[in-house]
Amino acid sequence: MAALIALLQLDFARAGRSSPLSITVTTISTYAQVAVTAVVDTVRGASGTIARTPGLAADNRRLRTQNDALRAQNDELQERLARVPAALGLAQAEFAHPGGIAATVIGFDPEASLHVVTIDRGFKDGVRRDDGVITGDGVVGRIVEVDPLSSQVLLVTDATSKLPAVVQRGRWWAIAVGTSAHVKLEYVSQDAKLRVGDRIVTGEGRSFHAGVLIGRISQLEPTVAGALDQSAIVQPAVDMGALSRVVVLPQK
């Protein structure tokens, strides 16, 4: 058998062709080498991964710590950005009323039976009952209760709130009465030619000097035949649901 195999190999070699036996042996050898290489690479990769595991865990902890720090920083920046409008409004109110007392809103009426907010300034800060309260946008309300460290502000939208008011265009006098959702302008002369968008400002009174913006007329009410006056709905200039910083105007 050996001699026969040798003769066959010799014949294929003389003919310049590979014998089936050589092809078979070469193929088996190639597959064996590929298998061995794959096993060796796998073992090397696993060994490298095991060697790098402590470092990867440390890198993961470091990246998580950095991510938490960046998230906290982003939250802080978002909060600062959200406070910008209120701070700007406060600066405008303080500039317009240099003697005003800056305050922060610290509470709302939980039962909403009264449109009242609590501020962090009281008797010791110079706040007195009936002082007016504003923001940079306009009238908020007036002080109705004063404690040493805090005060209660009755919002201009409360049903018990009444302020002397003036239609700025034409200087027509009226009374601004709260309706819970808006402000109603009452007792306006029938001669007044009211328009939607007219600015309504405070008249000279105990809580406010003349000219502080209350709001703008948003709706004209039907005129009653024979009535001596007319009324209109006013949209307050201040968003009462987003109060944060205000200025108290001490009475002169």
Model pLDDT, residue 123: 94
- What span, in angstroms and rounded, lies between the C-alpha atoms of 40 and 32? 12
Query: What's the pLDDT at 100?
Result: 92
> What is the per-residue pLDDT for 26?
61
SS3 at position 251: coil
Domain ranges within the chain, ordered by starting residue = 1-96, 101-249
Identify the pLDDT of residue 162.
95
Residue with tokens 């998230």: 71
* Total residue count of the chain as it appears in this document: 252
The CA-based angle 33-34-38, given to 5 degrees, is: 115
pLDDT at 21: 53
Q: Give 95-123 as a 3 state SS string.
A: HHCCCCEEEEEEEECCCCCCCEEEECCCH
> What is the reported pLDDT for 43?
60
Burial of 230 (0-12, 13-18, 19+ CB in 10 A): buried
**Average pLDDT for consecutive 10-residue bins of the chain (252 residues)?**
59 59 61 63 63 75 83 73 64 80 88 81 95 95 96 95 95 94 93 95 93 96 84 95 92 74
pTM of the model: 0.66
Mapping DSSP to helix (H, G, I), strand (E, B) and coil, where does residue 212 land? coil
Q: Which CATH number fits domain 101-249: 3.40.50.2020, 3.30.56.10, 3.30.390.50, 2.40.10.340?
A: 2.40.10.340
